[in-house]
Amino acid sequence: MAGNKGPLPPEVIERHNREHADAIAQDYEALSRTLARRHIDLSAIEKKLAQFSLALPSWGLGTGGTRFGRFPIPGSPTNIHEKLADAAVVEQLGRLTPRVSLHFPWDRIEDPAALRGEAENLGLSFDAVNSNTFQDQPGQGHSYRHGSLSAVSAQVRDQAIAHNIDCIRLGEKLGSRALTVWVGDGANFPGQHSLGEALERYIESARAIYAALPDGWRLFIEHKFYEPAFYATVIADWGTSFLVAKELGASAQCLVDLGHHAQGTNIEQIVARLARFGKLGGFHFNDSKYGDDDLDAGAINPHQLFLVFNELVECELAMEGFAPAYMIDQSHNVTDPIESLLLSAEAIAGAYARALLVDRAALAECRSRNDVIGAFRTLRRAYETDAGPLLTVVRMALGGAADPLALYRQSGWRAERARERKSSGAGAGIV
Ligand code: RM4
Ligand code: MN
Ligand code: MN
C-alpha cells in the first residue's frame, strides 16, 4: 500500500470519498445481503482483494500508438520520471498497481538507485524488468534483423545475452525480482531457417541468461504466436515456452500475455496446465480482438478474463504459495493512459473478485454429479454479480478514491502536466 504518498493532495481524495460515502454504503449493504444468502464469507474475500496487486508497464504510460503513428495528448510523459509520476497517480486513486515494470533500453537510466528512491517517494516499487532485443538501438554492434537469442551469428546471440544480463543487473539495483524475455525471433519465409536449430540456439542463449539470475529471481519466458515473424516464431506457443522453461530449471517459468494466442484458443486451460506443472510465472493482461492488439483488459472479452481468474482462484485454493506475477501490457492509442490503466486495473481486480464469489462447494458438488448445467450456472451466477461495491469498499479502506476515474478527471492532472511537460512528439513507435 502506498500510504499517503502520491502526487495528489490526500484531502482531495478524502473530500471526494465523503461525498460518495452514503451511496457506496447502500450499494455495499445490498450486495452483502445477496452474498449472505449464498453463504459467502465477505470478509475473507475482502482480505484477498486488499492483497491483490498488478504491475503497470512503463511503456503503457506513454501513448503507444500503432506502427502507423502515435497521437499523444498534451501532457503525455516523455521520460521515465514523468511516467513514474503518472503511475503514482494510478496507484494513489486505484490502489491496485503499486509496482512498475521497466523496459530496457526504452527506460535507460543513469542512476538506478536514485530512480528506486524516486519511486519509493511516490509510493511505488519495481516489478519484472523487460529486455528488448526486437529492435536495433543506435550505436549497437550487431543488428537483430535476423534474430537475437536464436540468431545464426554467435556474435549477435552474445550481444543479446549480454543485454539481458545488463537488464538483470539494473533490475537488482531497482529491487526487481524477475526478468521477462520476449523476442521477436522467427522466420518470415518457409526455409528461412531450421525450425529445430533455431530453438536449440534460443535454449542455449537462454541458459546463459538463466545462469546469471541472482538468488530468488525468476526468468519469465513470454510466447507469442506471430508478429514480427509471420511464418514461424521461435517461442510461438505455451508448449514451446513450457519446454524451454523446463529445460532451464525451476526458476524459469512461462508468462501468459492474453493477446499472444490464436483466436479461439482456450487460454484458461493453458493457465490450468501451466499452474499444475509449476510453470505459470505470470501474466501480461490486455485484451485482443484480432491479434496482439494490446487493447485494454476486459474491453473485448471480459468473460475470458473471468474464466482465467476462475482457474487462478482454484489454484490459490489448491496450491500453497501460488503467486504468479500479475502485470498489465497494453498500448494506449486513443485514450489517456492513466484513464485506461485505472479502468483496466479495476476490470482485472473485478474479474478476480467475481472468481472469488464462485460457490466452490456447490461447483464441486455439481461436478461430482455430472450436473453440467448446475456447474455452469454456479459460474454464471458469480460472473453476473456486480462486485463493484466490494472493490470500492476495499479501495477506499486502502486510501483510494470512491470513483478513481471521476476524481482523476476532476483533478486536472493532465492539464497541469501539459503546462510543464514538453511535447512527446508524434511519429511511430511505442514510447
Ligand atoms: C510484445 C510483448 C512484450 C512487450 C512488447 C512491447 O508484443 O507483449 O511483452 O514487451 O510487446
Ligand atoms: Mn507482453
Ligand atoms: Mn504483445
Ligand lying closest to the C-alpha of residue 103? 1
325 forms beta bridges with 282
Determine the pLDDT at residue 321. 95
Residue 239 scores a pLDDT above 50: yes
Q: Please state which of the ranges 156-165, 397-406, 420-429 shows the lowest mean pLDDT.
A: 420-429
State in Å: Cα 361 to ligand 2 middle: 35
Check: pTM over 0.85? Answer yes or no: yes
- pLDDT category at 207 given cuts 50, 70, 90 is very high
Which residue, by CA, sits nearest to atom 2 of ligand 1? 182
pLDDT tens, position by position, 223-236: 999 999 999 999 99
pLDDT over 90, % of the chain: 94
Answer yes or no: are the C-beta atoms of 240 and 277 closer than 8 Å.
Answer: no
State in Å: Cα 288 to ligand 3 middle: 10
Residue 430 scores a pLDDT above 70: no
Which atom in ligand 1 lies closest to the alpha carbon of residue 103? Answer: 10
State in Å: Cα 236 to ligand 1 middle: 13
Answer yes or no: are the C-beta atoms of 5 and 123 closer than 8 Å.
Answer: yes
Q: Per-residue pLDDT averaged across 249-275, rounded?
A: 98
CB-based burial label for 265 (10 Å; 0-12, 13-18, 19+): middle
Residues 6+ apart with CB under 8 A from 383: 303, 306, 354
Which atom in ligand 1 lies closest to the alpha carbon of residue 255? Answer: 9
Q: Per-residue pLDDT averaged across 366-395, rounded?
A: 98
Residue 199 scores a pLDDT above 60: yes
Rounded Cα gap, residues 350 and 355, in angstroms: 8
Which residue, by CA, sits nearest to atom 7 of ligand 1? 292
Answer yes or no: are the C-beta atoms of 217 and 168 closer than 8 Å.
Answer: yes
Residue 82: CB within 6 Å of ligand 1?
no
State in Å: Cα 192 to ligand 3 middle: 23
Q: Per-residue pLDDT averaged across 370-388, rounded?
A: 98
Determine the pLDDT at residue 429. 52
Distance of CA 110 to the CA centre of its chain: 26
State in Å: Cα 140 to ligand 1 middle: 21
C-alpha cell at 225: 504466436
C-alpha cell at 157: 546471440
pLDDT tens, position by position, 119-152: 999 999 999 999 999 999 999 999 999 999 999 9
Residue 1 scores a pLDDT above 70: no
Residue 2 scores a pLDDT above 60: no
Which atom in ligand 1 lies closest to the alpha carbon of residue 284? Answer: 9
Which atom in ligand 1 lies closest to the alpha carbon of residue 292? Answer: 7
Residue 257: CB within 6 Å of ligand 1?
yes
Determine the pLDDT at residue 5. 87
Determine the pLDDT at residue 382. 98
State in Å: Cα 85 to ligand 3 middle: 24
Which residue, by CA, sits nearest to atom 3 of ligand 1? 182
Q: Per-residue pLDDT averaged across 40-68, rounded?
A: 95
Residue 294: CB within 6 Å of ligand 1?
no
CB-based burial label for 27 (10 Å; 0-12, 13-18, 19+): middle
How high is the mean pLDDT of the chain?
96
Residue 233: CB within 6 Å of ligand 1?
no
Determine the pLDDT at residue 177. 98
Determine the pLDDT at residue 427. 56
Smallest CA-to-CA distance from 322 within 330, 331, 332, 312 is with 312
State in Å: Cα 411 to ligand 2 middle: 31
Which atom in ligand 1 lies closest to the alpha carbon of residue 259? Answer: 8
pLDDT tens, position by position, 322-365: 999 999 999 999 999 999 999 999 999 999 999 999 999 999 99
Q: Per-residue pLDDT averaged across 156-168, rounded?
A: 98
C-alpha cell at 345: 486495473
Ligand lying closest to the C-alpha of residue 288? 3
